[in-house]
Amino acid sequence: MERGEVWSAQFDEERPVVLLQGGAGPEFPAMQIVEPVTPAQKLGFVWMSGEQAADADERRRIVEEFGPEVLIGIEVFFGAEEGLAESGVVRVVLPRAGKVFCTWRTTVGEESLTKRIGALSPAKQHELDIALALADGQWAAADTTR
C-alpha cells in the first residue's frame, strides 16, 4: 500500500478512498472520495479547484477577492485518470475561527481495502497535499510545497 493509491474500501457501503500514507499497515489514513458539491451546498461558500489552490497566486487572489470572513472550500477532482468509474472529489473547507468543518478523513484497516483502483499522478498528489495543508491551517507549508 502506497501513499496516493486509490482503493475501494468497505465502510457501511463500498466507497473510494485515497491513501494519505503508505506502508505495511495494519491501518492507513485516507480521505473518502465523494460527490462534488451541489448548487445548494455551494451557498455561503466560495469553492476553488485543487488546481486553483495549488497555484499560490491564484489562491491569494481568491482569498483577497472574497475576504477573510468568507468560507472557502477546495475540491480536488478525481476521475478516470485515477481509476474511478465515476468522477468524485476530495473536499475540504479552510479553517475559520469558531468553525469546525467535516472532512472525509478517516483511518481504514487493511482488511477494509477491497480493491486497488488506481493511483494519483504527481500533479494530482500535489493538489491534494496543498488542499490538506490549507485545511489544516498550514498556509506557510502550502506556499512552499513542491
Check whether 143 has a pLDDT greater than 70. Answer: no
Q: Which CATH architecture has domain 5-136?
A: Roll (2.30)
pTM: 0.86
Taking only the tens place, the pLDDT of each residue in 12-69 is 899 999 999 988 879 999 999 999 988 888 888 899 999 999 999 999 899 889 877 7
What's the mean per-residue pLDDT of the chain? Answer: 87
pLDDT at 86 over 80: yes
The strand ranges marked E within the chain are 5-10, 14-19, 27-32, 45-49, 71-78, 88-93, 105-109, 113-119
Q: Looking at per-residue confidence, does 69 or 103 come out higher? A: 69
Q: Going by DSSP bridges, is the β-strand pair 27-32/45-49 parallel, antiparallel, or unpaired?
A: unpaired
Residue 67: its pLDDT value, please? Answer: 78
